Amino acid sequence: VVTNVLPGMQAAFVDIGLHKDAFLYAGDYTANVGDSGDELAAAEDAVDGDHPDGVDDADDADEVPRREPRQPIEDVLRKGQEVLVQVAKEPLGTKGARITSFISLPGRYLVYMPQAHHIGVSRRIHDEAERDRLRAAVRALNPPSGGFIVRTNGEGRGEAEFGADVEFLSRLWAQVRSRYENVKGPAVLHEEGDLTFRVVRDLLSPEVDEFLVDSREVYDKCLRYVEALVPGMAERVKLYESKTPIFEALGIEKEIEKALRRRVWLKSGGYIVIDHTEALVSIDVNTGKYVGKRDFEQTVLKINLEAVGEVVRQIRLRDLGGIIIIDFIDMEVPEHREQVYKQLKKALAEDKARTNVLEISELGLVEMTRKRVRQDLRSLLTVRCPTCAASGVTKSEVTIAGEIFRAVRVQRAESEGREIVVRAHPDVVSYLDGDGREALTKLAASLDIKITVNQTGPQSPREEYQLQVR
């Protein structure tokens, strides 16, 4: 349900049933079922590699007709209007979800786009003859109105597999339309399958040797999904029954812990540092313990090339998105910068998420973007630090002691008490009993008052303190 239309931004806010309204940009809206009674022929720009519904491919931009210019959003949307939309980006931080009316429904081999009228092929399928064959195979099925994109794992498949997907997706879209016409918004019309279903559909392929599951219930569910989607892979699904937790046995627990660290060491002794800000993610490459032998430029090149692999691995592992700045160690030789840049582009080619990388500057900086549609690993697994409020720093003992001294002066001026009891974090008390003792004694003498210092618990917030006048 549209809650607000903003002509100045050419956008609208829509209540989709979450705690925060979703954002609908004018370019992401076309008249939907129920708005005009007809589907508009509009093509989806791309089915991205990080689609929240599990679509793992992107279509070629030159194959997809561009959307026609739209009317001003205030002419096509009004407050209280019900619209059919799909979440394109999950809520991130303080931002609500971003939504689109260009619906895309993923199957195992195809993606169905009801408002489009073209057949595309994943850009990750490079062979032109195979691309032509795949398009012909889908066209031969005489699919219903709408467009289709062949996903990467559709390579080598034929009409039988595609036909099953077309039938399933057409039936699914009919169900979505029916629900839209019979329910009052905001309401969920369709949800993607659970994690188990998405893993079987999107990740279980001939390249997978073994699929381990440590729960009998999930194992049985996996087998049902496999029998329905990829029956030939059933023997690769195995129940893990060891007493050692599966994450511990396979080293996953340690990898998760390392993926949350700020510093990541390289085998050579160098390291990278990953920092998050509101605007971007910065990745800094450092020589660390590695000093090389004789040639400094070769030393720098070696560390930067090694760092490329780890940087890309961490970007994918942590699911970093948005603007990313990589600060490589400065390289004076232009050929070295070009070598590192090409290596970075090559490594990112394996990433399913859409990336855009600018060339390395003379300062060794690389500016790149990676499409982000969900929270990164750190946001999913951590909460704001209650001590530093996610700033990464806390005040020093000296700074807190200075605040206490000023607060004592205020209390003395406002009361007739003869003693002030200070309760503070153990680290602050340790400073006041040590290096700060002389200043504390002078303060007490100048105010003609007794100052007593006591510790709070070690788990108490470091910057908090209390004063009690007696």
pLDDT in tens, 119-148: 999 988 889 999 999 999 999 988 878 899
Out of 158-167, 349-358, 378-387, pick the least confident: 378-387
Residue 163 domain boundaries: 2-190
Quick check: 266 pLDDT over 50? yes
Residues 152 and 224 in one domain: no
Q: What is the predicted pLDDT for the residue at 293?
A: 65
Residues 407 and 359 in one domain: no
Distance CA 364, CA 366 (A): 7
DSSP readout, 146-190?
Answer: SEEEE-GGGTT--HHHHHHHHHHHHHHHHHHHHHHHHSPSS----
Of 119, 142, 141, 143, the closest CA to residue 131 belongs to 119
Q: What is the predicted pLDDT for the residue at 58?
A: 42
What is the rounded average pLDDT of the residues 38-64? 39
Neighbours of 49 (CB within 10 A): 21
Of 192, 193, 178, 188, the closest CA to residue 85 belongs to 188
Q: Which regions of 64-217 does DSSP assign to beta strands (E)?
A: 86-89, 98-100, 105-106, 110-113, 119-121, 147-150, 211-213
3-state class (DSSP) for residue 284:
strand
- For residue 67, the 8-state DSSP code is P
**Strands ordered across the beta sheet of 147-150:** 105-106, 110-113, 147-150, 119-121
Asked if 73 and 7 touch (Cβ cutoff 8 Å), the reply is yes
Supply the CATH number for residue 448's domain. 3.40.1260.20
Per residue in 61-92, pLDDT tens? 334 444 455 678 888 899 999 999 999 888 87
Cα 351 → chain centroid: 14
Q: What is the predicted pLDDT for the residue at 41?
A: 33
101 in a structural domain: yes
Quick check: 39 pLDDT over 70? no
Q: What is the predicted pLDDT for the residue at 69?
A: 52
DSSP readout, 382-399?
Answer: ----TTTTTSS----HHH
87 in a structural domain: yes
Asked if 85 and 223 touch (Cβ cutoff 8 Å), the reply is no
Domain boundary among 190, 210, 227: 190
Cα 331 → chain centroid: 31
When pLDDT is cut at 50, 70 and 90, the band that residue 47 belongs to is very low
Q: What is the predicted pLDDT for the residue at 361?
A: 87
Residues 39 and 170 in one domain: yes
35 in a structural domain: yes
387 in a structural domain: no
Residues 374 and 410 in one domain: no
How many domains is the chain partitioned into structurally? 4
Quick check: 328 pLDDT over 90? yes
Q: What is the predicted pLDDT for the residue at 90?
A: 85
Asked if 421 and 470 touch (Cβ cutoff 8 Å), the reply is yes
Asked if 410 and 447 touch (Cβ cutoff 8 Å), the reply is no
Residues 56 and 181 in one domain: yes
Residues 357 and 458 in one domain: no
Question: Percent of the chain scored above 70 by pLDDT?
Answer: 90
Residues 114 and 94 in one domain: yes
Q: Of residues 61 and 397, which shows the higher confidence score?
A: 397
Mean pLDDT for the chain overall: 85
Distance CA 193, CA 203 (A): 14
Distance CA 79, CA 1 (A): 8
Q: Of residues 249 and 61, which shows the higher confidence score?
A: 249
Q: What is the predicted pLDDT for the residue at 229?
A: 80
Distance CA 404, CA 227 (A): 68
What are the beta bridge partners of residue 272?
264, 285
Residues 287 and 219 in one domain: no
Residues 355 and 424 in one domain: no
340-to-141, 300, 326 alpha-carbon distances in Å: 46, 11, 12
- 336-342 contacts at long range (C-beta below 8 A, 24 or more positions apart): 336/297, 336/300, 336/301, 336/304, 337/364, 339/301, 339/305, 340/301, 340/304, 340/305, 340/308, 341/366
Of 200, 28, 43, the closest CA to residue 107 belongs to 200
Quick check: 409 pLDDT over 50? yes
Lookup: tokens for 19: 């705690």
96 in a structural domain: yes
**Cis, bond preceding 186 (omega within 30 deg of 0):** yes
Out of 211-215, 337-341, 362-366, pick the least confident: 362-366
Residues 173 and 28 in one domain: yes
Quick check: 198 pLDDT over 90? no
Beta pairing class for 211-213 and 147-150: unpaired
Quick check: 346 pLDDT over 60? yes
Domain boundary among 347, 381, 415: 381
Per residue in 144-158, pLDDT tens? 788 999 998 888 888
Asked if 58 and 123 touch (Cβ cutoff 8 Å), the reply is yes
Quick check: 42 pLDDT over 90? no
Residues 159 and 296 in one domain: no
Residues 185 and 102 in one domain: yes
308 in a structural domain: yes
Distance CA 3, CA 80 (A): 6
